[in-house]
Structure 1
């Protein structure tokens, strides 16, 4: 078995190399690399004291803040698996993640006591809940745990091999409930190196990176590379994007890079604060997670100059499939998400698994060291995902003769709203728990602000009547806001195929016929 570096040592190494440099800045607090590493080591010891060991899962339900950052590296250092959630999820959704991952400890932010209780009720494996500031009965206090811990000896990080898991990256893949994508120490070491080479070359301890997206997903992966180079990570004060604050932080800290999604980038560029603050320090403004309208792209380039970096990459490939560098944002490449990342291979495959020539549209498949180890305890999904020795993305596209990728559509019904993947089946199942509904179908349509948003088409049961307001109220406690459709249409019936199925293409055709759009 190939040995690997424990990824927690990225922080250990930076703390030894640049101990006095700023590592993390949040609100009025600033931690140097030495201070942050010392806190992480105390958390690692505290988790060990709670019985957390190598391979155990640590569920973290928190907004961006220093505990979120600290829990990532502490989990890595002890060889445990970090299981972050999107803090916008409902208690029921988080309970499923806690139970399916078999987490033994949960770290929760202030105000999420109900989420922790839901996890307790759903998972017999959960032994401890650690709260950040408002610990209730039976819960432990985060800062008190650190204060009571004894610093570990130097080089205490757990020994790991290449395939040892370090992060459960939850994704629904194409359908159904979320699945845990297993990211490993060896795989992530390649991803960090690749991010530094292909996305933010030249990053050093002189740089600063602004975080404007949740650390639980792509932003967290991006920050690993910043820590590896000793750069400073700057967090927004609150949980919502504040463009005025973001641009003030860019100027104050001479921010050189940030990870965004197209909707965030567009919101930043269109806010008047962009003209009120100096942002000449920006070298790499990365956007990923969804296609960006060309008009919005041009607007961003006009405001920020040649610093945009695009990439395409699923959670299963750890955001590591393509890159479109700043100098490649040209008319020739309009509509492209870039070329293969260094060390990665892309193929367009036909349904029979044969490789298609340049220009032909087929499924985008990928292989290389950034591909995850598979879905946790889901062999059926793994067989489909890795058929023929390639990871199948479920997206459709074409490569040109130079190797630049153009995405043309999705095999799945998934749509991307505000940079987050939304899987219609989750909303459909939630809608159908309403006693008055007989059928439901959800599709994503283009939206001027969110990129795409959901439209639900529902059919009430015989003799029943429903309203859009009542159904939206029904969904509120069941689904995170970004997963809820923005519009609900009540129809007498859903269009069906000859086999009695409800193809989404027929739903879209009827919506178009009715002129439904955002």
Structure 2
């Protein structure tokens, strides 16, 4: 018989760990420490504060924050209350965050200090956001975060909302392959599988004796990573400052005997290239995970030489919660001819996940043939929030279509060879040329624009904008970049702007990105 109790409320992971390990360290941020019992009590009070302000099951809570204890606590409080956690990239501008709030129709917002303009933009975007909790600099009409916790009545034990497998827990904003951001719906049941899979495939053997250093935003992959740490009672250590400080990172690795961390290739390279890596003991590291962008083989070798056999690579998208393939530490090697270490591969399918290369007709291709990378299994999201058109395309033929191109070898190892879209990845973040082009086209004097991603030695890829001025107008690189300053997050900005008399066009009058790249290459424009 079918029933409604088909999933554990994901917030129970914290409840269970706090009961099992009440006095052990749970979270470290600078000089501040919280035990599991203290952290759980704060989360329970936040859940009660949200409920007291009308936030209930299924309601969305927008969180615009740097990594902090409040950011961490908000995730678990939303889960426990049955609400939906909607984190943003804290580098987004107020208009960008307002769009996410309107798209999700967020009922409440938690903002970090210094983001008052973001809260104003959210409230101006529509009538949905009824409450704003502010950390440290609450204004009239907003609620101070710590006051909200202090005033809340602690809920009774086992207060977590009852949930079903398909009930949403997290809106993971992603554009998939094209267009403006879409809310990928991650559910309680799906995320329970993801936690289990991460523990099996990415950092097996993790216990309360381990520690995890957070060097990437908790709003995305690092937040997924920390779910497994909480499940096992491993200590989470946050960097003391907003920006990556390799010296501080390596000091914390030594101090807390850090055993795992989630990174993107640019962060990993910055860490291993810093002289502090030689000054601090990092022998405790067992799983240094990198994902989100291609990693040059030379950078991979340098990391292996400095850190030893602890690298773990995975390939995945937000829609699949990172769960497509994994390449274990023993599958990394400095030897390009090692038969057990497939150089250039992003790994083999994750446990319980099916990966296929499909042709344009939806048929499986044999090993070695290139097609679209498609996936199915319990880690696949529930679909885009209120976007049936995107869902039909994404789930054609009962597979999730990643929009990436690649091939499998005879053993099932995956190789990513390109992207079906024009999207490029810069420093681990997806950049969508159309969004950048639309912003550039609002610059006075610009008539046309094409943005493409080109190889960059530090960021993997970075944008170059080719612009055509309006008749009689003069447009320069500095003016275009200055125009983008408050319109787009910094990581979306092109690093170079070239001015052309006309954009290359196909016989159909279109501007193929391949032709733009060819001209840039011919003119020697790059990084």
TM range (shorter): over 0.9
Deviation of residue 123 (structure 1)?
Answer: 2.0
C-alpha distance in 2 between matches for 1:124 and 1:153: 32
Q: Say which of 494, 500, 514 aligns to 2:509.
A: 500
C-alpha distance in 2 between matches for 1:272 and 1:167: 38
Residue 444 of structure 1 is matched in structure 2 by 453
C-alpha distance in 1 between matches for 2:467 and 2:185: 36
Residue 374 of structure 1 is matched in structure 2 by 383
Deviation of residue 435 (structure 1)?
Answer: 3.3
The runs of at least 4 consecutive aligned structure 1 residues that moved more than 2 Å come to none
Residue 355 of structure 1 is matched in structure 2 by 364
Q: TM-score, normalised by structure 2?
A: 0.98
C-alpha distance in 1 between matches for 2:60 and 2:277: 41
The question of 1:105 aligning with 2:105 is answered no
The question of 1:485 aligning with 2:485 is answered no
Q: Say which of 334, 344, 348 aligns to 1:339.
A: 348
C-alpha distance in 2 between matches for 1:458 and 1:437: 7
Q: Say which of 204, 221, 243 aligns to 2:224.
A: 221
C-alpha distance in 2 between matches for 1:426 and 1:22: 43
C-alpha distance in 2 between matches for 1:317 and 1:131: 32
Deviations 1:472-518 (A, max 9, x none): 11111100000010001111000001111100000010001001110
C-alpha distance in 2 between matches for 1:324 and 1:173: 23
Residue 468 of structure 1 is matched in structure 2 by 477
Residue 411 of structure 1 is matched in structure 2 by 420
C-alpha distance in 1 between matches for 2:178 and 2:486: 21
What is the aligned residue count? 518
C-alpha distance in 2 between matches for 1:149 and 1:267: 42
Deviations 1:372-399 (A, max 9, x none): 0000000110000000000000000000
Alignment of 1:246-285 (within 5 A): 246-285=249-288
Residue 406 of structure 2 is matched in structure 1 by 397
C-alpha distance in 2 between matches for 1:319 and 1:470: 38
C-alpha distance in 2 between matches for 1:190 and 1:139: 37
Structure 1: tracts of 5 or more residues without a match: none
What's the C-alpha RMSD, in Å, of the aligned pairs? 0.7
Deviation of residue 174 (structure 1)?
Answer: 1.3
C-alpha distance in 2 between matches for 1:416 and 1:186: 29
Alignment of 1:16-415 (within 5 A): 16-330=19-333, 331=336, 332=339, 333-415=342-424
SS in 1 for 2:34: strand
Deviations 1:209-235 (A, max 9, x none): 000000000000000000000000000
SS in 2 for 1:300: helix
CA contact under 8 A between 2:5 and 2:162: conserved in structure 1? no
